[in-house]
Amino acid sequence: MLLVANLLLGFNILLAILMAGLIIISNHKKRTNQTLVLFIVAVFLWTLSNLLSNLYADIATSLFFARSTIIGAALIPLTFFIFTKSFLGESLTAKNLILSSFFPILILLTAPTELNIKSVEAYGFNSVPGLAYYALLLELVLYIGISLKKLYRRSKSTTTSSMQKSQIQYIFTGMVVSVVPAAIANAFLPLLGYNWAVYFGPSTFSFLVVFTTLAIVKHGLLDIRLIVARSLGYIFTLTTLVGAYVLAIFGLSSSFLGTGNLTGTQQILYIIATLIFGFSLSPLKRFFDKLTNRLFYRDAYDAQELLDKLNKVLVGNIDLDIILKQTSDLVATTLKAEYVAFIIRETEGTSRRASFSKLVNLNADDILALKAQKKGKTELFVADEIENDRDKQKEVMNANNIAIAAHLAGTGGTGNTGYLLLGPKQSGNPYNKQDLQVLDIIANELVIAIQNALRFEEIETFNITLQEKVDEATRQLRRTNEKLKEIDETKDEFISMASHQLRTPLTSVKGYVSMVVEGDAGKITKQQKELLDQAFASSQRMVYLIADLLNVSRLKTGKFIIENKPTPLADVIETEMQQLQDMANTKEQTLTYVKPKDFPDLNLDETKIRQVIMNFTDNALHYTPAGGHIAVNLEEKADSIEFTVVDDGLGVPKSEQHHLFGKFYRAGNAKKARPDGTGLGLFMAKKVIVAQGGAVIFKSEEGKGSTFGFTFPKKTVLAKKK
């Protein structure tokens, strides 16, 4: 009986060491893991003290270790109570820990006294408990009872997730079947005189190991399944091989060869068995690996294959809806999640987007309101790893049945793109470290793909909007253009009509003024002649202006006609200069023209070329200040005829020279010098010159003067001699 009990105690000690080590390796920083290690240490101390007490025949030594058992026994209810509070996310303040530890510390103080154990016999048999055992019994009832009550209440809460409820169920069951038998064996039965029961009380820890292992494997309270699965695989393999080897050798030896020294046949038999043992190791190992994988890795998958498939989805599509749908289906199928969902935040050019592998009811506003701890980086929120049940993130995740929320941060610190959400696994298993690592990689790749797709959508939307605006602007422009055409036609009609109506009375005025000047109405004084000359010049300019307006109108209607005939250009220029000489004298300007001798007649439209000459010279007189010089030149060159008007007046600003021959355009300094100009003279001059096969001569420098003129090729304008 004692040997069996000691073997069980030794086995449980090894299990306690193994479990504590695995918990520390798994996540030594997690508070729940830390408190669970404390509980296992308490059980380890209790079990070890019992084993040492059983190993010594010396009564004093056995009594010392028997009394030491109360240390672990008093700490087990306390550490289980602390573990429960930590697991449930309750606060563990220093004050609470001190108050909770007060009663167990009083019990610990009785350890070396008869209040603990009065006496024992050899090997710890027939121990006589003292009054401290009653206090220990009370502690067990109070602390374990309160802990189980807390677990039970949490399991019935509507806000508790299904995974946590299942975890509580396993922990609750494991603690009940471990602590209750231990309390009966070590507390109640000794009081009734059954002292031998204390040998088996500590061994009830094996129940805790079994149920804790189930909690580990099925619900991921600790992420050590790989170690457990592979260890069991090797144990099963070696056990099977060794057992089969021993049975084969000894069975065959005893059956066929008898006993005694090894013969040659026996040696051959052992060699054959050894070969069978060696060759069977690999297939048996694979068999038990598959078996343990089925037990521990029902949710196993090839992470690289998943990432390759995801990469094809992201590279092969630019449409965001397709990317989200195919990705959610792929991740849900591979990780065997109840659902996978995306919630993408709206941008300036796109609306909020949601995609699901399976339709679920989610509160998108609450989810998008979750705040990441790491700004500008992807981050995974695992509901089971958030210890505080009142944490806002955990409340939102539990309310929406979210096991993992992956925060998709914008690249370059551009903010929150959205969330990748995963429901619990269909098997009820937790998401392990591999799952979290893969999801972190997926989240980072998705951020880039989603942002690229969103930018593409924004560009497409912008293009569509821009095209609509362009189309609308084009329609408005066409309507405006039609109105402008109507207005322009009305204006041209008015100009044509007004010009015709003004032309007749102006011709009469000009004729009558000319008759008076010439003395047809009697002799006039010198002063009267000067005034009449001014009136005649003004009427002449009016005639030219009207002619320009008529020509503009004719250009619009296609009635602008050049009527070339032999024209004595030198005489025409002389006549115009004589008319303008009085204006030059009035402004004290020097107007010079040297008529060339024997100048040939040219095939030109005399009326229109006269207007051009008058326009160039008149402009020179108006834009040259008093005392200035205007030189009019006509020259026959080898291949061309060239006419120029050179002045030292205002000049034209360089920035405005390219606009100068446009219709109605006038340079800024010209407007100030002569506000009443129309901007038609140079426009019509260029039209007349070009229409007759010539080219405009123009050069100017602001503040130094200008040169205007024209040139015609001789071969096209020389009149044939009769």
Q: What DSSP line would sit under 276-287, residue for residue?
A: HHHHHHHHHHHH
What is the bridge-based pairing of β-strands 640-647 and 695-701? Answer: unpaired
Q: Which residues pair with 695 in a beta bridge?
A: 711
Give kind and range of the element (H or E) at residue 672. Answer: helix 668-673
Regarding whether 258 and 187 lie in a shared domain, the answer is no
Helix (H, G, I), strand (E, B) or coil at 97: helix
pLDDT digits (tens, 9 = 90+) for 575-584: 889 888 888 8
Domain with residue 649: its CATH number is: 3.30.565.10
Helix (H, G, I), strand (E, B) or coil at 45: helix
* Residue labelled with tokens 């508070």: 31
Structure tokens at 293: 């994988």
Q: What CA–CA distance (Å, rounded) separates 501 from 386?
A: 96
Q: Whose CA is closest to 652, among 693, 719, 709, 700?
A: 700
Q: What is the mean pLDDT of residues 266-270?
A: 56
Residue 217 has pLDDT above 50, yes or no: no
Instruction: Classify residue 536: in a domain, yes or no.
Output: no
pLDDT digits (tens, 9 = 90+) for 507-551: 788 788 888 878 888 888 888 877 887 787 777 777 777 776 666
Residue 134 backbone class (left: φ over 0; alpha: ψ -120 to 50; beta: rest): alpha
* Residue labelled with tokens 């000691």: 6
Instruction: Classify residue 510: in a domain, yes or no.
Output: no
* Residue labelled with tokens 């006039």: 524
Q: What is the mean pLDDT of residues 438-452?
A: 87
Give every CB contact of residue 103 below 8 A, 6+ residues apart in sequence: 135, 139, 142
* Domain stops at, among 429, 464, 499: 464
Q: What CA–CA distance (Å, rounded) separates 512 from 478?
A: 50
Amino acid at 679: G
Tell me what pLDDT residue 253 has.
Answer: 55
Regarding whether 183 and 45 lie in a shared domain, the answer is yes
Domain with residue 390: its CATH number is: 3.30.450.40
Q: What is the DSSP string of 484-549?
A: HHHHHHHHHHHHHHHHHHHHHHHHHHHHHHHHHHTTTT----HHHHHHHHHHHHHHHHHHHHHHHH
Regarding whether 203 and 93 lie in a shared domain, the answer is yes
Structure tokens at 586: 């009035």
Regarding whether 275 and 143 lie in a shared domain, the answer is no
Residues spanned by the domain of 570: 564-717
Domain with residue 144: its CATH number is: 1.20.1070.10
| b/e code 568-591 from CB counts within 10 Å (16+ = b) | ebbebbeebbeebeebbeeeebeb
Helix (H, G, I), strand (E, B) or coil at 204: helix
Q: What CA–CA distance (Å, rounded) separates 350 from 455?
A: 9
Q: What CA–CA distance (Å, rounded) separates 178 from 211?
A: 9
Instruction: Classify residue 483: in a domain, yes or no.
Output: no
553 band by pLDDT with thresholds 50, 70 and 90: low
Regarding whether 103 and 194 lie in a shared domain, the answer is yes
Determine if the pTM surpasses 0.75.
no
Instruction: Classify residue 77: in a domain, yes or no.
Output: yes
Asked which of 100-114, 150-164, 244-258, 701-715 is least confident by mean pLDDT, the reply is 244-258
CA dihedral 495, 496, 497, 503 (to 10 degrees): 100
Regarding whether 343 and 270 lie in a shared domain, the answer is no
Regarding whether 333 and 459 lie in a shared domain, the answer is yes
Regarding whether 688 and 602 lie in a shared domain, the answer is yes
Residue 250 has pLDDT above 80, yes or no: no
Instruction: Classify residue 313: in a domain, yes or no.
Output: yes
Instruction: Classify residue 556: in a domain, yes or no.
Output: no
Tell me what pLDDT residue 142 has.
Answer: 92
Q: Whose CA is closest to 569, among 687, 691, 714?
A: 714
Whole-number mean pLDDT of the chain?
79
Q: Give pairs for 669-678: CB < 8 Å, separation 24+.
A: 669/702, 670/623, 673/622, 673/623, 674/622, 674/623, 678/545, 678/548
Q: Whose CA is closest to 634, among 600, 683, 669?
A: 600
Residue 498, Cα to own-chain centre: how many angstroms? 68
* Domain stops at, among 197, 223, 249: 223
What is the number of domains present in the chain?
4
Instruction: Classify residue 499: in a domain, yes or no.
Output: no
Q: What CA–CA distance (Å, rounded) separates 141 from 146?
A: 8
* Residue labelled with tokens 């060239």: 642
Regarding whether 26 and 78 lie in a shared domain, the answer is yes
Regarding whether 70 and 31 lie in a shared domain, the answer is yes
Instruction: Classify residue 394: in a domain, yes or no.
Output: yes
Helix (H, G, I), strand (E, B) or coil at 161: coil
Regarding whether 356 and 287 lie in a shared domain, the answer is no
Tell me what pLDDT residue 294 has.
Answer: 61
Tell me what pLDDT residue 222 has.
Answer: 45
Residue 302 has pLDDT above 70, yes or no: yes
Regarding whether 670 and 626 lie in a shared domain, the answer is yes
Tell me what pLDDT residue 212 has.
Answer: 59
* Domain stops at, among 295, 326, 351: 295
Q: What CA–CA distance (Å, rounded) separates 224 from 207?
A: 19
